[in-house]
Amino acid sequence: MNEKRLKEKKIHWALDVSVIVLLGYVLLSASSISADTLIKKENFYSIIALEHISSIPDGKPFNSRHETAADMIQIGIRYKQKGWEFDALIGAEVNNSFRGDNPIFILRIEKEQKLFGGK
């Protein structure tokens, strides 16, 4: 691996880790934040996950295409409030289907809404 590529990897890794550290710092200092603020300590969660991502192996004849899949082990922090979830995770791919090197940084923002049954 050339020096430029190695330097780029170190910069990306430092940015990924700094996001996790920043969220951890917010979690630890949340007790000193007043209850009226937007960020509350009780809305932070730790995450340990195994994620499987795969393509749909359709084709002619039925299911004749090879499935592309990836499995990742992830650990990180989740913040939840008013149906929104913010995840900052560091993961390691188990079967090397993605291009790139481990560890992998995942930043996920989701909005959860109830489908049936009121508010």
- In the chain, how long is the greatest CA-to-CA distance? 62
In a domain, 27, yes or no: yes
Reported pTM: 0.55
* Cβ 58 vs Cβ 65: under 8 Å: yes
- Side-chain half-sphere CA neighbours of 23 within 13 A: 21
Number of domains in the chain: 1
In a domain, 119, yes or no: no
The one-character DSSP state at 42 is G
In a domain, 116, yes or no: no
Closest by alpha carbon to 91, among 102, 80, 107, 78?
102
In a domain, 73, yes or no: yes
pLDDT tens digit sequence for 50-84: 988 887 766 666 666 666 778 889 999 999 988 88
Which domain covers residue 58, as residue numbers? 3-111
The whole-number pLDDT of residue 1 equals: 55
